[in-house]
Amino acid sequence: MSRQSDTCNGSDNDAARHDGTRPVVMAIGGIDPTGRAGLAADIRAGEAAGVHIAPVAVALTAQNADGVRHIEPTGPLLINTQVRAVLEDLPVRAVKVGLMPSAQVVEAVVEALAMLPAGVPIIIDPVMGATPGGRLVPAVSRSWRKQLRLLAQRATLLTPNVLEASALLVGELPAGGRRILRLQAQALQERYRCAVLLKGGHLPDRDSVMDVLATEDGLHPFISPRVQGRDLRGTGCTLATLIAAHMAHGAPLMQAVAAARSRLLEGLKQPVEVGGEGAPPVRLPHAMPSDAASVEKPPAADDNIISLQSLKREGDE
- Domain extent listing, the chain: 3-314
Give the pLDDT score at 64.
Answer: 84
Give the pLDDT score at 293.
Answer: 39
Q: Domain 3-314: which CATH class?
A: alpha beta
Give the pLDDT score at 12.
Answer: 42
Give the pLDDT score at 190.
Answer: 95
pTM of the model: 0.83
Question: Sheet containing 24-31: which strands, arranged edge to edge?
Answer: 67-73, 52-64, 24-31, 92-97, 122-124, 157-158, 195-198, 208-215, 218-225
pLDDT per 10-residue tile (average), the chain, 317 residues: 45 49 96 90 94 97 85 96 98 97 96 96 89 65 92 97 87 69 93 94 74 95 79 83 97 96 84 73 66 50 42 38
